[in-house]
Amino acid sequence: MPVTPLITLPDTAWVAGAGAPTHAVERQLEAGAVLCLPDLRFALRDAERRFLDPRWGDGKAKNISLRTNGELRGASGTPEEQTELHAMVARYRDQATALAERLFPHYVGKLRLGNTSYRPVAVEGRETSWRKDDTRLHVDAFPSNPTHGTRLLRVFHNLNPVGKPRVWRVGQEFEPFAKHFLPRIKAPFPGSAAVLRALHVTKSLRTPYDHYMLGLHDEGKADLGWQRDCEQATVEFSPGTTWIVFSDQVLHAVMGGQFMMEQTFYLDAADQLQPETSPLRVLERLLARPLVAA
């Protein structure tokens, strides 16, 4: 079975103009590719280089996060230092937004901004539960935050100052992965979504789509034999590399690296160029029934 393709783009600039030749690559992204821009660098200002140190995290969250309301979370430092860190992360948000609108003109006016994060902590050595272990191949799905079929578009950048790559594994295409694990996932119990919301386990109603996506996430991570033997490839993103992916579609595992930027965008499946490639439509076809309310 085919493994997720990696498509390399030559761009060296975030915004339209010189060094920005690529436009309209929605089809490649929607087909499940990782778009890699090895020469598109997020330039730090001299004063910002001191932030390349894990001590700027607060020790509680693994990420420093700029929320959509403008609040910076997970950071340490004086108010003045946090203001500078806020400006750095916000600049990445703005450049990633300009890039997404240039590469994906069909999505302009349809993309919704999510959180921006700076990840100064090394992947290696992080202790966590098997469900939260992102060194295992998975598609993104969240127990407490149902997406209702909304796509998760992410723009990553490796900031590492000492030449260390961000190391990923990527797996097979989404549909064969779903076919493999769907028979193991029981249908949700009637009324379970309302109970989960009433108990504040979820922040909104968990749709059947969210139930099955979470099941795929968990079944894949729990199956160590499949993790070992399934079709996969290792990809190294060198410092100064930007890469883009639908993380709800592309099977990925993060094996190593430190100092990374990430911008999340949300896109309704209906707003794709090819809605039939979305996980929502694939699962609805495989299960022969609608998975979100009309």
Write down all domains in the chain, each with its CATH number in brackets: 6-287 (2.60.120)
Residue 1 binned pLDDT confidence (cut-offs 50, 70, 90): low
Position 58 pLDDT exceeds 90: no
Q: E strand or H helix at 281, and its extent?
A: helix 279-287
pLDDT in tens, 90-123: 999 999 999 999 999 999 999 999 999 999 999 9
Q: From CA 105, how far away is CA 108, in angstroms rounded? A: 5
Give pTM, 2 decimals.
0.96
Q: Mean pLDDT throughout 54-82?
A: 92
Instruction: Look over the chain and give the mean of its residue pLDDT values, rounded to a whole number.
Output: 95
Q: Return the percentage of the chain with pLDDT > 90, whole number.
A: 93
pLDDT at position 166:
97
Helices (H), 44-191: 79-103, 174-181
| Residue 213 CB neighbours (<10 A) | 26
Task: Identify the bridge partners of residue 264 per DSSP, sorted by sequence position.
Answer: 154
